[in-house]
Structures are given as C-alpha cells and as structure tokens.
Copies of this chain bind each other. A is one copy, B any other.
C-alpha cells in the first residue's frame, strides 16, 4: 500500500498494530474518523491514553479497578474464603454475568507460555500462594481455559499449594446446556461422561 500522505500512513500503521486489524481495515477505520467530527477522534485518543496511563489494579485480586480494592473484593457479602483463579478481566465479567458465583477472584494476568516468554514470575501467582498461606482461604477454583497453557498453569499452581490446607477444584467441562450430543467434540463428550454427576444434583442446579 502506498499512501499519498505521511500522516495517513502513520495513522494506518499504528491502527494495524492492533490484533486482528489488517492494513485495509485500519485504512477504513481511519477514513471513518476523518468523516466524523474532530471530537470523536479526540475522545478516542484521550480514552485510550487515560486508560493506559491511569489504570490501577485491585491490590487483592489484581483485577482492573479504579479503586485500591475492587468492588467485588470490597463487598462484605461475598464469600472471601472461596477464590476463583482466572486469566483476565474478561473471565471475571463472564462469570459475574452468570450470577452463580458469590466468592472472590484472583486474576493471574495470563497463562504460563514458554513459547511467548511468559513464566510463572510474570503472573500473579506468588500473591495467590501468600494469600493461601494466611490460612483464610478454603477453596481455590481453577477456571483457566483448558488448553496446554491453561493446564500447565493450573498444575504449576497446584504444585505450589502442596502441603497447604486448601481444597482445589476446577470448573466442570461438558456439553453446553441445550447442545446436541452429536455435534459435541469427543474430548468434551468423553469428559462429560467420566465426570457425570448424580441425577438428583442436576435437578438442584436447574
């Protein structure tokens, strides 16, 4: 792509640094901003900069938060003895949307991924172990995605917890509610049979 303007080229270059945004899409987005009032571009630039420079993290669970302690951790009515380990804020939002969970979270900020140079020390793992050592946590729920990296991270944390008095569990994998068995992948279907639950229990969770 050859541009007739350095300013345009620069804007497209920066925009196409974002994941999933190719150069054509970047050009379309930049030309869209050109047609809109200047206030929109100013607001976008300011919001991104403000977020990046002023973002804070909850000192307890490491979730993104505008206050020292996030709303969930500060909520006295939640069960502080149950902690759900997740990768990032999107997982917190997804679980909160279910309204089925009353415990707290611990946001790792990623998964162990040697290929991308992410080791345990880059993640918020140490602070999780410290919290457990204080003895006030009864259960750790692993809710990382079931990929090689997710499983590795789960196992690493599990090993670190050895000798500490805490229950560990992992979220159930199985056929999605409403899904047809025939379209499920074998691994998921296999797991959902191995980890079957008593029928009476399934009635309760409806």
Contact = CB atoms under 8 A, between A and B. Distances in A.
Number of copies: 2
B49 A92 contact: no
Interface string A30-51: 1111110010111111111111
A123 interface: no
Given A4-B92, A64-B4, A48 B31 contact: no
A66 interface: yes
A1 to B, nearest CB: 7
Interface stretch (A16-24, A141-149, A169-177, A182-190): A16-24
Contact of A51 (B10, B42, B72): B10
A5 B33 CA distance: 26
Contacts of A8: 51, 55, 64, 89
A136 interface: no
| Secondary structure of the A contact surface, majority rule | helix
A205 to B, nearest CB: 24
A93 B2 contact: yes
The list of the 4 closest CB pairs from A to B, nearest first, reads A45-B45, A11-B51, A41-B52, A14-B47
Given A5-B66, A6-B66, 8 more contacts: A2-B96, A4-B70, A5-B55, A10-B51, A18-B32, A20-B29, A33-B51, A33-B52
